[in-house]
Amino acid sequence: MIAIVGGTGPEGSGLALRWARAGEAIVIGSRDAERARAAAQQIVEKAGPLGSVEGADNATAVKMCETVVLTVPFAGQAELLKQLKPAFRQGTVLIDATVPLAAAVGGRPTRVLGVWQGSAAEQAAEIVGKNVQVAAAFHSLSATVLNADGDVDCDVIVCSDDDRARQAAADLAVKIPGVRAIDGGKLENARIVEAMTALLITLNIRHKVHGAGWRVTGLGI
Amino acid sequence: MIAIVGGTGPEGSGLALRWARAGEAIVIGSRDAERARAAAQQIVEKAGPLGSVEGADNATAVKMCETVVLTVPFAGQAELLKQLKPAFRQGTVLIDATVPLAAAVGGRPTRVLGVWQGSAAEQAAEIVGKNVQVAAAFHSLSATVLNADGDVDCDVIVCSDDDRARQAAADLAVKIPGVRAIDGGKLENARIVEAMTALLITLNIRHKVHGAGWRVTGLGI
């Protein structure tokens, strides 16, 4: 069972939709359990009969699951993780998709903030502590594309210092039709992948599209 | 005529090879004019009859050309540009491909240094001043792939604050078979594209290849 904290937003809902269609059991987390249940119901209607999607407040969602995906705006990431820390089970895999867009402080969504730990994902790892294994992934998938029906023409670059967390993120990535999981090395590399999402926002604006993405070439895979 | 400063290195030589094959006239620049001429001769032998490649010391190469491509290690970039500044003609387009890899100071090639101006390209722009228009491009093309014969399965993301410089870089990019030129917005975005090259080095290491690259998807082009 997979918790998606911030799952009522377009990115989290899009991931939930794709994973439900792949037969996964999903818990949408939100500050407001009612709002989470309403979002879950909408996703169920789009997803069809295969998986399951329910809603809960964030802490309950985290307690229920051994895999937690975090899709929240950067402005709320640290505070939320501090609140949720006691809810994580020992050995939970936290997959962080947070991008520290400067929009968090009134700046442009095409720029990233410098995060003291190096990246939003490393900030997340510092806050949740050693009982939780962190991978960074799913930054670059367009919410517009995820919430539509077609294949997703984008690779997911996974950065982690923990093999189990890296594998959990990769396994979830390839459940999305069209997506490949690419081992992006250590968690510290999340700072690059996060910034690449800000560049995708530039590309979306410059090219008047909503679904710019990245593919890695030349890997012989 | 295109000057490639640092053109005796693998990246510069590979670009020269591809552009010569496309019929361009190239001047390889090096600190040592003899070394530049020897490198030019080697490239001519590989390139075949179409374009022309000659060699000169860096300052002479810069004086000869309205387009200058800079492919040097970050450790030498600032000092070299300060020396070359008087050689640039008014209105020269400088295309900077420098990546501020931490290897410049004995660190890892999978990490980038923080550059005060934001990126190596913005540092270049500050040094050469307003008489020279700067674009950042060609960071991500594998030297191994450039120096081989096949198509290059990689996009070139061009960042610039100047339309003419952006266009000059894009025009050169598409002369390399397989390459697309992607408008990456302002010069400040070079900090992301430069870091993406450090991530390619991680991908090359992790996947045991030499030619990892990037394609942008979802642009409808």
Q: Is B185 on the interface with A (CB under 8 A)?
A: yes
Q: Hey, are the CB atoms on A207 and B145 less than 8 Å from each other?
A: no
When pLDDT is cut at 50, 70 and 90, the band that residue B221 belongs to is confident
Query: Which of A152, A156, A197, A216 to mutate to probe the B interface, most B CBs <10 Å?
Result: A216
Residue % of chain A over a pLDDT of 70: 100
CA distance A211 to chain B (A): 5
Could you give phi then psi for residue B149, rounded to 5 degrees?
-105, -15
Nearest to A217 among B157, B188, B212 (CB): B212
- The enclosing H or E element of B123 equals helix B120-128
User: Tens digit of pLDDT for each residue in A111-141?
Assistant: 999 999 999 999 999 999 999 999 999 999 9
pLDDT at A221: 82
Nearest to A203 among B182, B195, B202 (CB): B182
Report whether A71 contacts A39 (CB < 8 A): no
Q: How far is CA B31 from CA A216, B58, B84, B98, B100, in A?
A: 35, 6, 11, 17, 20
Q: How far apart are CA A129 and CA A90, in angstroms?
A: 10
> Is the ipTM reported for this complex over the cut 0.85?
yes
Q: How far is CA A170 from CA A151, A164, B4, B79, B134, in A?
A: 17, 10, 41, 44, 39
A·B CB contacts under 8 A:
111
- Calculate mean pLDDT across residues B178-195: 98
When pLDDT is cut at 50, 70 and 90, the band that residue B34 belongs to is very high
User: Tens digit of pLDDT for each residue in B193-203?
Assistant: 999 999 999 99
User: Which contacts (CB < 8 Å, 24+ apart) does range A79-82 have?
Assistant: A80/A5, A80/A6, A81/A124, A81/A127, A81/A128, A82/A127
User: Tens digit of pLDDT for each residue in A25-39?
Assistant: 999 999 999 999 999
